[in-house]
Amino acid sequence: MNPYERYVQQIADLIRAGKELPLGGFPDYPRSVRPGAPTALIFSPHPDDEVVIGGWALRLLRQSGWRIVNVAVTQGSSKPRQKERWEELTACCKCIGFDLESTGPYGLEQVNPKTRSKAPDDWHAMVQTISNVLTKFQPRAIFFPHGADWNSTHVGTHLLVADALASQPASFTCSTIETEYWAQMSAPNVLIESSPADLSALITALSWHAGEVRRNPYHLTMPAWMIDNVRRGAEWIGGQGKAAPDFLFGTIYRLRRWSAGAFEDVRLASGFIAADQDPAKDL
């Protein structure tokens, strides 16, 4: 028998079997935030984004003892599901060890480029909400989608966070970490490894978003997405024709810095951060 036929069949069987696994109901992971630790904020366009792109944030929590706060920019566009999605999100963050910050009783609405251009008063109010979050937490680093992440709420969240940064005092500074999910970034500069233990924790937490993964079990294909990130990130970040880093699972990001009212590029010794390296070394 062709061994690759068996290899592919085993993958297919594994994913099918995964559909029978429970959603949520798991014990919370241990959480250790060191006293006086920096804070990183995740500006999540939707409930579930916090763990989908959360590989770096989880390592900052587990390895560096940082406090990670997920800011729920929206609670989804389906009004009948918003309360339930908040409950799922609360359980997910509690499981993984992230704190959770609300932007309103049902989150923000219509976070998209159209609102920014057509309803400036509504947009300004939302910018003020995000600006208040930045002022409250004074983060060392923030995670938010890159500006071409296809989904209108992801693009809107990028614009919202950028406008909120611009509203801060000139003295405000932090590392800015752009994320990707729906569309690839054109200029990423960091590929960070997730160990099998970290990836399984992210998937476990993601399974608490039961209403979402029942309609599309994307939690089961998260390992494949991370594997492809390493394939692509090896050359996007390491250079064309370069060897891939010696790890299996990874997430791609763009690290810059907000300083003196503008984004600044960051010079990195290496864009690869393996599981045994310090995830906070460039922040």
- Domain borders along the chain are 3-267
* Vertex 111: Cα angle to 110 and 113 (nearest 5): 105
Residue 36, pLDDT score: 94
Where does residue 8 rank: exposed (0-12), middle (13-18), buried (19+ CB within 10 A)? Answer: exposed
DSSP 27: P
Q: How far apart are CA 32 and CA 198, in angstroms?
A: 15
11-39 confidence digits (pLDDT tens): 999 999 999 999 999 999 999 999 999 99
Residue 243, pLDDT score: 87
In single-letter form, the type of residue at position 51 comes to V
Average pLDDT, the chain: 97
Q: How many CB atoms lie within 10 A of CB 233?
A: 23
111-125 confidence digits (pLDDT tens): 999 999 999 999 999
- Give the pairing type, strands 190-193 and 250-259: antiparallel
Per-residue confidence band for 276, with pLDDT thresholds at 50, 70 and 90: very high
Q: How far apart are CA 175 and CA 141, in angstroms?
A: 4
Instruction: Report the percent of the chain where pLDDT is more than 90.
Output: 97
pLDDT greater than 90 at residue 51: yes
Highest CATH level, class, for 3-267:
alpha beta
Is the pTM above the cut of 0.85? yes
